[in-house]
Structure 1
């Protein structure tokens, strides 16, 4: 069984112009990092012309679909019927995207199949993490 889930989604980029542009994005969940999810944007979808990946808590995504969540670099909130807004804050500016909530729920259900919420700690390899920290310290 695969330990990584990837799901392509269409994100609607919210810009200062009245129309919204659709951009491809990929949601990713890896059992090796059980508390996190990432959202990856291809180079053509970014201002810098390079791929960008944002990592944030799976719990943030889960909570943000029903009520505003997050106070840091990534914030998530519901928007209208079957939309969720993800805000990505960086020194260069803020990017906001709308994603269908049903797509997010499908992705999270698949992630839950790999690692049930509340059981993430059982999938962490603390011995390997500690060994890696010790190697880096030397």
Structure 2
């Protein structure tokens, strides 16, 4: 895939546990032009309790909003924490995973996504014909 259609950024997340210690875990933020409304945050198997890689997909708009004020009501919730951190909460049947990220890293990532697909221009990057073809092809 050409490099100009994807933004990927490695980040160090602090996993918040019930103990006072916060473990540093690797994670990757990813944004693709072909899915212009979505952001993905992936954790490697070594960072999960189940020992399997996990990726969460949520809206870019939610990430932008959550940096400034609490945002999200569903499986992903984001809120500022102090002046330089942002908390991402991932809710699943098994429990809640919470990570702290540097807000500056999130802003840098979002800036890179804006360069790829400016906010408000997402619909121009959707391939609706292909999506409809796939849906109809699956129906036969």
Which TM-score tier does this pair reach, normalised by the shorter chain?
over 0.9
Instruction: Structure 1: state its 5+ residue gaps.
Output: none
Q: Give runs of aligned pairs for residues 1-138 of structure 1, distance below 5 A.
A: 2-138=4-140
Any idea what the Cα deviations from partners look like across 1:78-128, whole Å, max 9, x if unmatched? 001210000000001000000000000000000000000011000000000
Poorly superposed stretches of 4+, deviation over 2 Å:
none
CA–CA distance in structure 1, aligned partners of residues 138 and 65 of structure 2: 35
CA–CA distance in structure 2, aligned partners of residues 133 and 78 of structure 1: 39
- Secondary structure, in 3 states, of the residue corresponding to 2:4? coil
CA–CA distance in structure 1, aligned partners of residues 45 and 16 of structure 2: 17
- Secondary structure, in 3 states, of the residue corresponding to 1:65? helix
- Secondary structure, in 3 states, of the residue corresponding to 1:48? coil
Any idea what the Cα deviations from partners look like across 1:6-44, whole Å, max 9, x if unmatched? 000000000000010000000000000000000000000
CA–CA distance in structure 2, aligned partners of residues 118 and 89 of structure 1: 28
- Quote how far apart the aligned CAs of 1:53 are: 0.3
Count of paired positions: 138
Q: TM-score, normalised by structure 1?
A: 0.99
